[in-house]
Structure 1
Amino acid sequence: MALAVCLLFDARSERRVRDLWSRLEDAGISTLASHTHRLHHPHLSYAVLLDWELAPVHEALCALPAADPFSLSLHGTLAFPRGRAALAPALAPDVGMRQARVVTAVEVAGAELHHHYRVGRWLPHVSIATHAQGTRLASVVRMISDLLPLTLQVDRAALVDSSTGETWPLPHLL
């Protein structure tokens, strides 16, 4: 399927997202908790690669400068086609520059980038629901808005194979 360059959250932040996933699952709404291999982590993806060689991509990302952990402030819900819903973050300007560096690095490493992650097309989000259409989407929006505003702490990065859940931690935050 795909390889994602993911920003991951500290334990408290991850627990908050997983708690939301659990509440939605209890309401009969599919989330990343029950999607595909069930090994998903709450995350924000900088890039999704459709074709890649792991070693050159990993090496290119390890060569990027280390970045500091940061807070991700979430203020709303995004609705995507096919019933996908996500948390909508506000980002500091340097996070957009970080994403652009990651995109350049993976493309130079020979990876094929999904078009939604190209610089200028990236819509940052934290995935929540995977199949929330019609009235279920309204339930997702209500449950998310009951939580907001929400602040999550980004403290590490990893490569994640979306087809297997296999994860390769990166040595520093990007």
Structure 2
Amino acid sequence: MVASVEMYLDERASRRIRVLWDQLEELGVQSLRTPHDGRHRPHVALAVARRLDPEAVAAALAGTRVAEPLRLNFQFAGVFVGRVVFLGPAPTPALIEHQARIHGLLAAAGMASLPLYSPGEWVPHSTVSMRVPRPLLTEALRRCLESLPIEATVTRAAVADYARDIFREMP
């Protein structure tokens, strides 16, 4: 189980990613549409931890705009270890600096992210499937690449822990 500080995308970009989720589901690949009663939204996570107390996160990030209206340009698809498939936005200086700022504020308040979300290690991404079956991996990646590019603007943010039914909007 994990919790995350997530940035959500504008409606047009979210709709395009949801179409991709549907295409993957039709292929036999479980997308993020399915887990946790379909509560996932297309997003980019800035910090991920085993647990996050939304009140403590809000206090640590007080005065900081998590939903910074960043422009994201999803230009590539990739695979993390474990056959986790994702879409990747260009890692602009503004995006990298924003993630490092959020990470630093949480760390200063004693909330450590998983190591892969540390500045310098973090790969900006929007996960589309958590475990693609090996025989479907090539086709899933082809579908992802066909959906690109996707231009997006960050419009909202939240602390989310779907397994524990926690969802708190952040400024």
TM-score relative to the length of structure 2? 0.91
1:44-123 aligned within 5 A? 44-65=44-65, 68-123=68-123
Please tell me the residue identity of whatever aligns with 1:169: E
Which secondary structure does the structure 1 equivalent of 2:61 belong to? helix
Please tell me the residue identity of whatever aligns with 2:154: V
Please tell me the residue identity of whatever aligns with 1:28: G
Following TM superposition, by how much is the alpha carbon of 1:69 offset from its aligned partner in structure 2, in angstroms? 1.1
Contact 1:52 1:112 in 2 (8 A): no
Which secondary structure does the structure 1 equivalent of 2:50 belong to? strand
1:1-174 aligned within 5 A? 1-65=1-65, 68-171=68-171
Identical aligned residues as a percent: 29
Give per-residue Cα distances to partners, 1:69-103, cap 9 Å, x unaligned.
Answer: 12211111110122210002103201111111101
Contact 1:37 1:165 in 2 (8 A): no
Following TM superposition, by how much is the alpha carbon of 1:131 offset from its aligned partner in structure 2, in angstroms? 2.1
Please tell me the residue identity of whatever aligns with 2:40: H
Please tell me the residue identity of whatever aligns with 1:10: D
Please tell me the residue identity of whatever aligns with 2:91: L
Give per-residue Cα distances to partners, 1:30-70, cap 9 Å, x unaligned.
Answer: 11111244311110001002244331211112322577412
Root-mean-square deviation (Å): 1.8
Give per-residue Cα distances to partners, 1:10-37, cap 9 Å, x unaligned.
Answer: 1111111111101110111111111244
Tell me, which stretches of 5 or more residues in structure 2 are unaligned? Answer: none
Q: 1:66 to 1:169 in 2, by over 3 A?
A: closer
Tell me which stretches of 4 or more aligned residues in structure 1 moved more than 4 Å: 65-68
Which secondary structure does the structure 1 equivalent of 2:122 belong to? coil
Which secondary structure does the structure 2 equivalent of 1:107 belong to? helix
Please tell me the residue identity of whatever aligns with 2:16: R
C-alpha separation in 2, matches of 1:50 and 1:145: 31
Contact 1:72 1:89 in 2 (8 A): yes
Contact 2:6 2:159 in 1 (8 A): yes
Following TM superposition, by how much is the alpha carbon of 1:5 offset from its aligned partner in structure 2, in angstroms? 0.7
Which secondary structure does the structure 2 equivalent of 1:4 belong to? strand
